[in-house]
A and B are shown apart, each in its own frame.
Chain A
Amino acid sequence: MKNNLEEKRKEYGITQEELADKLEVSRQTINSLEKGRYNPSILLAFKIARLFELSIEDIFIYEGSEDDE
């Protein structure tokens, strides 16, 4: 699943480690999320969206909806 996590994180001005600390996950998880190698659980997706004060769809792009368009 594609996402804008890296872009949003840089806009926020925080490192991967700082983001990992805020979300209480490992830095490797943030790295894997940003590279699109790992899809978060719904709980983690909600936590990320809440942290950036955005909706989940603003950060994570479900490819199925791109096909519908």
Chain B
Amino acid sequence: MMSKDKKKIWINLISTVVGAVLFYVGGFVLDSEVQSIKMISGLCIGLGAATFCLGIGGLISMLLISKSKTEEIEHRKNIEVNDERNVHIREKAGAKFNHIMVYVLTAFVLTLGFMNAEKLIIIMASALLLIQLILAIFLSDYYAKRM
């Protein structure tokens, strides 16, 4: 059984390699004027760059920060994340955000309608609003049953 640290090193190493490969493929292999290939190339470059940076960042932080310091940082991070007041703040902010986004999305859909936007775009924006409302109802019911 691999230790946690070795697992982290492997994950970061694989992320770095995969990121580099994706970046290379997107930037140099998928070189075409065709729109769909350009899109895939862009996606590969973006994903590759992000994955590469995350992997390298993880490797560097593991090399630079000693094990005891990492454990202390991890401990502090866990306390901050699980601190009941911080959890309370996150939940309140999330609920408020959801409330505001319902109005924002409704206004967005109405604006698209008034602008005579393409039907598909209006339908997609409406679907977003519907998904948000359904999720809110489902999650409220889910937590109500468990608390």
B-chain residues with CB within 8 Å of residue A3 when the two chains form the complex: none
The count of residues in chain A whose C-beta lies closer than 8 Å to any C-beta of chain B is 12
> Bound complex: CA of A34 vs CA of B141, how far in Å?
35
Confirm or deny: B5 has a beta carbon within 8 angstroms of a beta carbon on chain A: no
A21 to chain B, nearest CB (A): 8
CB-based nearest A residue for B81: A26
The count of residues in chain B whose C-beta lies closer than 8 Å to any C-beta of chain A is 7
> Bound complex: CA of A29 vs CA of B85, how far in Å?
6
B-chain residues with CB within 8 Å of residue A43 when the two chains form the complex: 84
B-chain residues with CB within 8 Å of residue A28 when the two chains form the complex: 83, 85
A-chain residues with CB within 8 Å of residue B84 when the two chains form the complex: 25, 29, 40-41, 43-44
A-chain residues with CB within 8 Å of residue B86 when the two chains form the complex: 26, 29
Confirm or deny: A38 has a beta carbon within 8 angstroms of a beta carbon on chain B: yes
Confirm or deny: A15 has a beta carbon within 8 angstroms of a beta carbon on chain B: no
User: Is A24 touching B79 in the complex (CB atoms < 8 A)?
Assistant: yes
A32 to chain B, nearest CB (A): 6
CB-based nearest A residue for B76: A26
A-chain residues with CB within 8 Å of residue B88 when the two chains form the complex: 38
> Bound complex: CA of A43 vs CA of B83, how far in Å?
12
> Bound complex: CA of A54 vs CA of B27, how far in Å?
66
Give the residue among A24, A26, A41, A43 with the most B Cβ atoms within 10 A.
A26
A-contact 0/1 string along B33-47, CB 8 Å cutoff: 000000000000000
A-chain residues with CB within 8 Å of residue B80 when the two chains form the complex: 26
B79 to chain A, nearest CB (A): 6
> Bound complex: CA of A38 vs CA of B80, how far in Å?
16
> Bound complex: CA of A24 vs CA of B80, how far in Å?
9
> Bound complex: CA of A41 vs CA of B85, how far in Å?
9
